[in-house]
Chain A
Amino acid sequence: MIQMAGYLTLAVALVILGVAAFVYARARQSVPNGNASVYRVRKYYAAALAVALLGALAWSLPHTPYGAYSSEEPAMRVEVIGRMWFWEFKPSDGSSADSLVIPLGKAVEFEVTAADVNHGFGIYDSEGHLVGQTQAMPGYTNRLRLKFDEPGHYSVLCMEYCGMVHHMMINGFTVR
């Protein structure tokens, strides 16, 4: 997903730069009403963009994280509390929070909140890919449901600026 976004942006950038170079060169020619073709292209462009955007909406809206795995009963719930500047975990099954273990391949729910200011609960896999996140906001509980398909160690980083030690507000858990 991330890579796709990168390539898409690159492709758009190259197209725009290419068109700009083309227009730059052609702008020197002086042709009365020479721009009529631009308006013709615009129709196709507008139609194509509208279709692309509608397509992207249709593809992406079912993939919001809000209702993920809502039909399943989570195998585990973990209360997550962001504080200046550490992450506190409270697993619902009473297991150890210091070396939190999450079951592999099953839906789990993180119930994320904050004790003081806004934080961002971001989960990274062992290869450094961000696999999911939600904001940790005082007074609110954001429920993030995920399934982990890879065993290993996952790191939790803070994704919302929360003051001096924001960049060191780190914890983690194991999936197995």
Chain B
Amino acid sequence: MSTTTGALKPREVPEIDARSRRLVTIWLATMLAAFVVMVILGITMRLNQGAAIKLMPNTFYALMTMHGLGMAGGLFTAGVVLIWYLTALRFQMNHTVMWVCYVLVLIGVVGVLAATLVGHFAAGWYALYPLPFVNAAWPSWTIGTTIVSLMILGVAWLVMQMDIMRVLAAGYGLKRMFGLEYYKGEPAEPLPPAVMITAVCATAGILGTVVGAATLIIYLFKWVTPATQFDPLLLKNTMFMFGHTIVNVAMYCGLGVMYQLMPAYTKRPWKVNRLLVISWNATLVFILFAYFHHLYMDFAQPKAIQILGQIASYGSALPATAVTIFGVGSQLYRSGIKWTLTPFAFMMSVVGWGIGGAAAVIDATIAVNRVFHNTLWVPAHFHTYFLVGFVLILFGFLHHHLNSRAERLAGTGFVTMLVGGYGFVLMFYLGGLSSVPRRYADYSAIPLPSVSQPGTHYALWGALFASLFLLGALVFFLSNGIGRRSPGEAAVAGAGARG
């Protein structure tokens, strides 16, 4: 195995140049603005489920579709921007590529917004075939617009990730960037963990996006030629391979940022070793096969595949926690850290990821999934690792990236977000424990008071907690505008953060 570095040479000391920094800021500001809008849609849905307001069902489901697409798509985009940042710390990146993708993403987002909010397209974020096309309450243009908009987003994602892979491959070589050298022992030149994580994320992300693109082409064909029939089970598989993969990858991209930045705060190195390599490469495989757990209740799917799904889902728990959660623990424990928002946010994101992960592993048990599938337990677990997981990494990163120093205000906002966030997801869990089905515009038609009453009740509390979360997030954003470190101060505070 060769240890030669490729055509590009990584910077000795990782550092973000001013142009790349601005580019990342603009991307994240855009994604976070979209995030706030999506949160408001979420609160609106919860209010409707709580019988505090009365939306037409098709309005509710259009909001739900927009919310799901906006959150999953928006946060995946943010994840890709984060691994771009990790790459830009080491290499001169091509900014034109990123700006073109930025425009593509905006076009895609406007398309989806128009289709859902104006046209009331409401097939749900993973739009199971053939729902978008049958007896639809939404006009035909909204179907085509959604498909094409998602394809445009997919192109942007592919281009960004391929560009990252291109640079990493040129800089480190294909084998090295996955850390494969470590199988043979400690290499002469150590590999930064963020590079390996970026390579793993981009690979999974590209595979997921390609499967998504293929699925969307079939959808487009169906839209143009309504008489054709495709197989719903096959398309359900490909749709989840796409959707499940990209939302997982988003989270892993966030972890990459944490591996990169945490050492700057703890002053302890975070190095690649063989265990880390094995774990992350195994995670790549597990991510790709775990999606089968979405199809447990499709009894037509071969039983061997279902069992594989459970094993892959369980398998992902071990490397993920033993390496990353313990990694964070050993970064922090007795490090003498001065707690500021960024490391605290990173630690809390891992907490949310762990809790959501545990809830996910439980639901990934076929025997349990029988009674949890498509109840509110499902949004409960994925909101846990997004809202009080990945989103917290984003906030911590933002605080770091903007050199914010309004620690007090940022902390106040952040703790408010935590209280609101955990309260909000708790209401989903309690709904799941009461067997409340997910994706119900309201619960009034359910003939079982022991389901509909708690369902309504928890929904209202969920809306209140989510509003608290939103309030905290706004305070947090405010804090970034109020106090910034001067470049000199930032250099001191962040020394090594670049490393």
Contact = CB atoms under 8 A, between A and B. Distances in A.
A135 B301 CA distance: 11
B437 A159 contact: yes
Interface string A85-103: 0000000000000000000
Interface in A1-44: 1-3, 5-6, 8-9, 12-13, 16-17, 19-20, 23-24, 26-31, 34-35, 37-39, 41-42
Interface in A26-71: 26-31, 34-35, 37-39, 41-42, 45-46, 49-50, 53, 56-57, 60-61, 63-67
B57 interface: yes
Contacts of A118: 128, 131, 232, 236
Contacts of A117: 128, 130-131, 134-135
B321 A56 contact: no
B307 interface: yes
**A interface SS class:** mixed
A6 B429 contact: yes
Contacts of B58: 164
A60 B367 contact: yes
B351 A20 contact: yes
A141 B311 CA distance: 26
B97 interface: no
A159 B370 CA distance: 11
Interface string B286-327: 000000000001111001001100110011011001100010
B372 interface: yes
A16 B351 contact: yes
Nearest to A37: B333
B233 interface: yes
A137 B372 contact: no
A162 B336 CA distance: 54
B334 A35 contact: yes
A49 B321 contact: yes
A130 B333 contact: no
Given A57-B314, A128-B435, A159 B358 contact: no
B114 to A, nearest CB: 20
A143 B299 contact: yes
**SS class of chain B's interface: helix, strand, loop or mixed?**
helix
B335 A30 contact: yes
Contacts of B318: 46, 49-50, 53
B330 interface: yes
Interface in B355-376: 355, 358-359, 362-363, 365-368, 370-375
A157 B445 CA distance: 10
B295 to A, nearest CB: 8
A132 B322 CA distance: 35
Contacts of B299: 65-66, 134-135, 142-144
A147 to B, nearest CB: 14
Nearest to A112: B299
Contact of A167 (B122, B362, B445): B445
Nearest to B329: A38
Contact of B447 (A3, A122, A155): A155
Contacts of B317: 49, 53
Contacts of B377: 5
B203 interface: no
Interface residues of B, number: 83
B84 interface: no
A28 B336 CA distance: 4
A164 B351 contact: no
Interface residues of A, number: 82
A45 B332 contact: no
B120 to A, nearest CB: 10
Given A28-B337, A45-B322, A166 B439 contact: yes
Nearest to B371: A130
B141 interface: no
Given A9-B359, A167-B440, A35 B335 contact: yes
Contact of B355 (A12, A60, A128, A161): A12
A63 B367 contact: yes
Given A27-B335, A27-B339, A64 B366 contact: yes
Nearest to B315: A53
B298 A135 contact: yes
Interface string B108-141: 0000000000000011100010110011110000
A167 B57 CA distance: 9
Contact of B134 (A116, A131, A132): A116
Interface string A115-131: 01110101010111111
Contact of B297 (A9, A31, A61, A120): A120
B451 interface: yes
A168 B445 contact: yes
B435 A13 contact: no
B457 to A, nearest CB: 14
B124 to A, nearest CB: 5
B138 to A, nearest CB: 9
24 contacts: A8-B362, A27-B332, A27-B336, A49-B318, A53-B317, A61-B367, A63-B367, A64-B303, A65-B299, A116-B135, A118-B232, A132-B370, A133-B370, A140-B298, A141-B300, A159-B373, A159-B375, A161-B61, A161-B131, A163-B61, A163-B123, A163-B135, A164-B58, A167-B440
Given A16-B354, A30-B336, 10 more contacts: A13-B358, A23-B332, A34-B335, A35-B329, A49-B318, A128-B434, A137-B233, A161-B131, A164-B122, A166-B441
